[in-house]
Amino acid sequence: MMTTPLPRRLAAEAVGTAVLAAVLVGSGIQASGLSPDGGVRFLANVLASVLALAVLIALLAPVSGAHFNPLVSAADWWSRRHDPAGPSARELGLYVLAQLGGAAAGVGLANAMFERPFVQLASQQRSSGHLWLAEGVATGVLILLVLGLLRSGRGRYAPVAVAAWIGAACWGTSSGSFANPALTFGRALSDSYTGIAPGSVPGFVLAQTAGATIGLALATLLFGAPLPAAAAGRDSAQAVAAPVVT
């Protein structure tokens, strides 16, 4: 069971998501200005984002679990909803609000650092069945990875494993692996390389939610029920994080 006071946990989730969003969007803007080559821009954006993700998980996991992703928080709540040591529905709601607020603030910070308006609605349309399928796959495997590590007592590997999956999914899926409703929402606030038009956000979020549901079911199928409360508490400090990338 995590003993960190809730306000500190919420602050960690907000700060971590904000920094992740700032690096994600900022590296995309920087790469776009430095290279005309699409592959080089994508590589730079993905590399900066996954490095930031690994560092932030390692830094903030002992404080909040380092979710930075509403679906990771929801999966944690659902899988431990009958465990007295698990998060409450109220805590889940507050985590999600902290993550959404952090994503918006981080994207605004990235915009400002590159002399853009703090809020600049994206114009890049991303609405297509193959993109939604890709988002479902990327998010489903993320949730399976997170819960599988925790249920098998290997939460300490989360910083490397989660960042590695996000990097692989960025290159291996057609959508670029957003896999995170908070960052998807944040990216709608920057009309830049990593942006997504506000009208495209609901489709992505629905696909991510469907993928997370399947990932949760697969985790139960492959790894069984969650660890007992004592073991889960021991590993919760290494919980997991969320994505990212272009």
Nearest partner of 54 among 187, 164, 168, judged by Cα: 164
pLDDT digits (tens, 9 = 90+) for 51-97: 999 999 999 999 999 999 999 999 999 998 888 888 999 999 999 99
CA distance 27 to 3: 35
Residue bearing the bigger pLDDT, 240 or 15 = 15
CB atoms within 10 A of CB 198: 14
CA distance 199 to 188: 9
Rg of the Cα atoms in the chain: 17
Counted residue by residue, the chain has a size of 246
Q: Which fold has domain 6-236?
A: Glycerol uptake facilitator protein (1.20.1080)
What pLDDT is attached to residue 235? 42
Q: What's the whole-model pTM score?
A: 0.91
Find where tokens 């692989």 sit.
168
Per-residue confidence band for 29, with pLDDT thresholds at 50, 70 and 90: very high
